[in-house]
Amino acid sequence: MDAPHLDPSRGRQAVTGVFARIVRLFGMVLFLTGIAMGCYAGLRWLQTGHGDPTLIEDVIVANLPDPAQAWIVRPRSWLGLHRVVVWGLRIPLYASVAFGGFLILLASTASSRK
């Protein structure tokens, strides 16, 4: 009697499915967190009449080394890159979190359809 043939790819399909679900869940959590942060900023604006959302700049710049902080405040070279970086740093944090979560959801959905 022959032993039954074991398919080595049978276990890999289950692991790939679990990984895809974890990535999709992470993307959904990021997306919903960004939406909730945006709703909170909108609620604060409705209450006070003053829109002051947290910017990426408020979170990132404080953690940069001193030369990088000095370059952001007063650039001496790479002036075009400075304009792009400053533009990116002035994006509200809730928008970047929600957009990042949406991109992860989009990528995980597209990869699971293959």
Q: Map out the domains of the chain as residue ranges.
A: 16-53+93-114, 55-91
Residue pair 23/88 in contact (Cβ under 8 Å)? The answer is: no
Distance between CA 18 and CA 103 in Å, rounded? 19
Task: List phi, psi (to 5°) of 65.
Answer: -65, 160
Between residues 98 and 109, the one the model is more confident about:
98
Per residue in 40-96, pLDDT (tens digit) is: 999 999 999 998 889 999 999 989 999 999 999 999 999 999 999 999 999 999 999
Its pTM stands at 0.75
Distance between CA 52 and CA 106 in Å, rounded? 30
The label of the residue with tokens 């039954």 reads 4
Distance between CA 100 and CA 84 in Å, rounded? 19
**pLDDT for residue 55:** 93
Per residue in 5-52, pLDDT (tens digit) is: 665 555 555 656 788 899 999 999 999 999 999 999 999 999 999 988
